[in-house]
Structure 1
Amino acid sequence: MIRRPDDRGQIVLVAAAVVAVALLAMTVAFAQLGYDGDRASASDVDVASLSTIDRSLTAAVRAAAQDATAGTDTIAWRDRRAVVTRIRASLSADVERIERVHAERGRSLSVAFDGAGAIRFARADCPAGPGRTFGPCRAIDGLVVQERAGRTTPIAAVVRVRIVSPTESSTAVFVVRVVS
């Protein structure tokens, strides 16, 4: 078999043509995979306002605390865990609503009670002082309650908020005071 020197050049040209056709097919397939309107860029997502989140959480916690303690005689100090359970149950719908609103804006927001933060708050910032004859503060599942005249009074909730979006990733801890 006798080979000519220009056969090699033809093989290289044929191989290049095959590669070019394959790349063209891959490019067309990739272009058809997505619709540009479905794509969200980082500039399409606004940055979460921590003050707005704080106001929403404050309103929700205060309303839940009022609902849990209004019109009931079962708020004795010995029933403090039941009060905390009612507050958390009342808050769950509001927390889900806050998380859903942020999901609609292209960010993930998760709200969780911070048990360790509540313990620190109960130890350091429990209302006390001259003219106040309040009992002890207790941190239960991220909420702080205090004994006042034998009754359970919600004082604060400590909440950890995690925000993730294309433009931000942050964690904030809010101490939501129910009473001063």
Structure 2
Amino acid sequence: MGELKRVLAPQLDTLETARLRDGVVVNVTSDESLAASVACPSGDGRAFGDCERIDGVVVQERDGETVVVAVAFRVRVSTPDGSTAFGRVARPR
């Protein structure tokens, strides 16, 4: 997970600070409950391991390697006029 968080950190930092001068605050955190709703691939002909969910990151063992299936985020956007929050699941291509 350390490598994934290291890769994501600069993008999340840019997102969270991009509009501060305009009074827009973005806060991105991991969403463990949303990650719990992510289904991992399975079925005939797939020798994949069980899904594991760690701090909003969904991983699965495939052919002896741990593969990121998805990352679940909770995003809160606050402006001078109010705020909104939503969850989002990102999947690698």
TM-score (norm. length: structure 2): 0.89
The list of structure 1 runs, each at least 4 consecutive aligned residues, that deviate by more than 6 angstroms after superposition, is none
- Correspondence for 1:92: 9
The Cα of 1:116 is off from its aligned counterpart by 2.1
The Cα of 1:131 is off from its aligned counterpart by 2.7
Q: Any conservation in 2 of the 1:119–1:138 contact (CA below 8 Å)?
A: no
Percent identity of paired positions between Structure 1 and Structure 2: 34
The Cα of 1:112 is off from its aligned counterpart by 0.3
Show the 5 A alignment for 1:1-180.
84-121=1-38, 125-179=39-93
Q: Deviations over 1:45-102 (max 9, x none)?
A: xxxxxxxxxxxxxxxxxxxxxxxxxxxxxxxxxxxxxxx1110122112111111113
Q: Which amino acid aligns with 2:20?
A: A
Q: Select the structure of larger CA radius of gyration.
A: 1
SS of the residue corresponding to residue 131 of structure 1 reads coil
Name the count of aligned residue pairs.
93
TM-score (norm. length: structure 1): 0.48
SS of the residue corresponding to residue 139 of structure 1 reads strand
The Cα of 1:107 is off from its aligned counterpart by 0.8
Name the structure where strand makes up a greater proportion of residues.
Answer: 2
Name the structure where helix makes up a greater proportion of residues.
Answer: 1
Distance of 1:129 and 1:167 partners within structure 2: 48
Distance of 1:91 and 1:116 partners within structure 2: 20
Deviates more, 1:163-172 or 1:146-155: 163-172
Q: Any conservation in 2 of the 1:108–1:163 contact (CA below 8 Å)?
A: yes
Unaligned runs of 5+ in 1: 1-83
Distance of 1:145 and 1:104 partners within structure 2: 37
